[in-house]
Amino acid sequence: MIVNVDISSALFYKSGPLVELCMEFLGVRGNAGQYLTSAMDRRRKNDLLKFIRNLNVETLDHEGHTRRRGIKAFSDQGADQEKFDLDGRQVTVAVSNVSDHDPPP
């Protein structure tokens, strides 16, 4: 049995920070953090979400292992404002990421 896989239909993007890819897609230069969190109108945000939805990215954990994950959505808020429930308390994504990367005692 032979399986013919057409790799020509797959999209590949150059390796690098996701923020840079988003800014390139939007055709914008300058302060990415400021633009991506406040300056975009709803239509541009929807266009960007359509572009990056299901895009696979590699994440790095505190032990140095990489894992491939698909993007499902994004938030209008920054990591210092977006909160979620962790063990019965509200924490920001920024605080969670810092504590995830702290070395164990």
Residue 99: the pLDDT is 60
pLDDT in tens, 12-46: 777 788 888 888 898 888 887 777 766 678 898 88
Please report the pLDDT score of residue 3 as a whole number.
53
Quick one: how far is CA 6 from the chain centroid?
27
pLDDT band, residue 105 (cuts 50/70/90):
very low
Number of CB atoms found within 10 A of residue 36's CB: 20
